[in-house]
């Protein structure tokens, strides 16, 4: 696998009042290592739909999904429910898959065939389309 090192600026970037910038590069990182801990048990999925907008997930975002993480109550997961994939928060206590959109209802999982494909640990958003 090819490693591409990307420079990191030595100063934090203010998201509030602007601060003077400089050209000081503190280090370089391997972005793949930073985002994906175990490549052999990780996959990426693209978001469609609006069921997770209240947690900041929007159509087109890329989900980094890790199969090696055991889901727990409150985990954002990719679940196969009766064969259909969905991204929801799992509520193990009430046996529900929870949307993060006030216009949508929780999905009961009690009598369904549920397979957790992985836990969403990170996601990537492209703010400016390429091209």
Residue 62 in any domain: the answer is yes
Residue 82 in any domain: the answer is yes
Rounded-to-integer distance, Cα 81 and Cα 70, Å: 17
Query: In 3D, which of 95, 118, 96 has the Cα closest to residue 105?
Result: 96
Structurally, the chain folds into a number of domains equal to: 1
Residue 43 in any domain: the answer is yes
DSSP 10-77: SSPPPSSS-------EEEEEEHHHHH-S-GGGEEEEE--SSTTGGGT--TTPEEEEETTSPP-TT-EE
11-64 pLDDT tens trace: 566 666 665 555 566 677 788 888 888 888 999 999 999 999 999 999 989 999
92-118 pLDDT tens trace: 999 999 999 999 999 999 888 899 999
Supply the range of the domain harboring residue 99.
38-124
Residue 12 in any domain: the answer is no
Residue 31 in any domain: the answer is no
Residue 97 in any domain: the answer is yes
Residue 105 in any domain: the answer is yes
Q: What residues act catalytically?
A: 51, 88
Residues belonging to the chain: 131
CATH number, position 69: 2.10.109.10
Using DSSP bridges, classify how beta strands 62-66 and 42-46 pair: parallel, antiparallel or unpaired.
antiparallel
Residue 99 in any domain: the answer is yes
Rounded-to-integer distance, Cα 96 and Cα 113, Å: 13
């Amino acid at each position: 696998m090819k490693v591409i090192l990307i420079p990191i600026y030595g100063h934090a970037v203010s998201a509030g009042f602007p601060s003077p910038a400089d050209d000081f590069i503190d280090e370089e990182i391997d972005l793949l290592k930073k985002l994906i801990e175990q490549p052999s048990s990780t996959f990426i999925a693209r978001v469609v739909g609006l069921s997770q907008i209240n947690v900041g997930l929007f159509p087109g975002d890329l989900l980094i999904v890790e199969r090696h993480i055991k889901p727990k109550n409150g985990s954002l997961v990719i679940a196969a429910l009766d064969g259909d994939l969905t991204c929801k928060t799992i509520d193990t206590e009430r046996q529900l898959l929870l949307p993060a959109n006030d216009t949508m209802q929780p999905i009961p999982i009690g009598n369904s065939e549920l397979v957790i494909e992985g836990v969403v640990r990170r996601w990537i958003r492209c703010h400016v389309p390429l091209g």
